[in-house]
Structure 1
Amino acid sequence: MAFMTLDGVVQGPGGPDEDREHGFAHGGWAVPHFDDALLGHVERFVRGADGLVLGRRTYEVFAATWPLAGDDDPVGSKLNRMPKYVGSRTLQGQELAWENASLLGDDVAGELIRLKRDRELQVHGSGGFVQALLRQGVVDELHLMTFPVVLGSGKRLFGSGTVPATFSVEDSVVTGKGVSAVTYTRRGGVEYGAMGPETGNW
């Protein structure tokens, strides 16, 4: 699951100091667009998860905030209880403080393929990590919440090196504040064609 702007930026949606890497000055861009409909959608999505997969930076952000959530917080309580798998070379050898969190080993793709055979694993945020998983063919679905915002700078979900692929839309909803929440299922490679009056496809 990723919060994304219209121009594909996924950096720092939740607050000014969430991720200032490379001088990013737009942190918190998603917050004004949250409403009960979007919160309910996030809650329903998280409820279906059996485990959470995170890159290092997103893990550190989540581990600093979600443990503060009470048992009456449906999202926070679920995230705190469920198994969490962290892909990070930097954290190797360290003990993870967040409840039920553990580090993935060197063969991240192999471990995730094994883990997701009988459970639903969700990756939240972790844009760079998601790109690596896409290149390795581990991602089955994309759940993107696209906000009616353009920033012009910041880390993008689909950067250079993204493997071309085609997806089918499985579910979609638009909130009253204009956030488009769409679930895409990976279908295969990209198909090509031509259009215009000379092709008969116009």
Structure 2
Amino acid sequence: MKITLTAFVTMDGVHQAPGGPNEDTSDGFTHGGWSVPYGDEDFGRFVTGVFDNADAFLLGRRTYDIFAAHWPRVTDPEDPIATKLNSLPKYVPSSTLGEPSWAHTTVFRKNAVAEIAELKRRPGRELQIHGSARLAQGLLAKNLIDTVHLLVFPVVLGSGRRLFEDGTLPTAFRLEGLSRTSTGVVIHTYEASGRPEYGSYELAPEQE
């Protein structure tokens, strides 16, 4: 399976609490819910299309707790996101999560990277990460993420946790898809392509 990451970020790279004011207030963050005003039909179609390709989900502990508190309560069989999240396997690397109550959840308590690498070797379409910035950074450092759907929202917050913080492994990507929604969200789809290459615009020394 490919491992894919779908991430919402602001123009200044903030990834924290896009879905609501109480989603994540750590470090005094007061801007939660910043993505909600930009939801439209274009956004909905894209996200539904992403979930259509899922065979399983890989979620960080914080994102798992947020999802587990919300999605099991959405029981409409016509909801394309809820039906996927509630019925497909979910994997959570965590040493502190107790016995999960959300159906089809497996907790990786030890050797999470090895367990995830094994999942990646299995046949299938996509093992999807949604949100889960810390998990995503750890897997980028191990070259385990294949595709990144980066949704950039037209807002600057000035504070909050970034998706790509200092210390992220330098990684080059190849742009495979680009679109925008009616509210100005720009959707980039990137494929990982190894390490960055470097050059210089400096002028060559003058010849004597």
> TM-score, normalization: structure 2?
0.91
The number of residue pairs the alignment matches comes to 196
What are the equivalent positions in structure 2 for 1:79-118 lying under 5 Å apart?
79-91=85-97, 94-117=98-121, 118=123
In the TM superposition, what whole-angstrom CA distance separates every residue of 1:126-150 from its partner, at most 9, and x where no partner exists?
1111111111221111111110111
Question: For each residue in 1:39-85, what CA deviation from the matched residue of structure 2 results, as whole angstroms up to 9, or x when unmatched?
Answer: 11000001101000001000000000011112121111111111000
How far apart, CA to CA, are the structure 2 residues paired with 1:105 and 1:18?
24
Give 1:29's aligned residue: 34
What is the correspondence of 1:11-26 to structure 2 with a 5 Å cutoff? 11-26=16-31
**How far is 1:105 from its partner?**
3.5
Q: Which amino acid aligns with 2:150?
A: L
Q: How far off its partner does 1:124 sit?
A: 0.5
Give the unaligned 5+ runs of structure 2: 1-5
Q: What pairs with 1:49-64 in structure 2 (closer than 5 Å)?
A: 49-64=54-69
The equivalent position to 1:149 in structure 2, one of 155, 160, 166, is 155
Deviation at 1:192, TM superposition (A): 0.5
**Local SS of the residue matching 1:11:** coil
State the superposition RMSD in angstroms: 1.1
Could you tell me which amino acid in structure 2 is paired with residue 133 of structure 1?
A: L
**Higher relative contact order at CA 8 Å, sep ≥6: structure 1 or structure 2?**
2
> For residues 190 and 85 of structure 1, what CA distance do their matches in structure 2 show?
31
What pairs with 1:66-81 in structure 2 (closer than 5 Å)? 66-69=71-74, 70-81=76-87
TM-score, structure 1 as length reference: 0.94
Per-residue deviation, 1:38: 0.3
Equivalent pair of 1:52/1:82 in contact (CA under 8 Å)? yes
Is this contact kept in 2: 1:109–1:138, CA < 8 A?
no
Structure 1: gaps spanning 5 or more residues:
none
- For 2:182 and 2:30, the matched residues in 1 are separated by 27
**Structure 2 Cα separation of the partners of residues 114 and 183 of structure 1:** 25
CA–CA separation in structure 1 for the residues paired with 2:83 and 2:40: 20
* Percent identity between the two aligned chains: 46
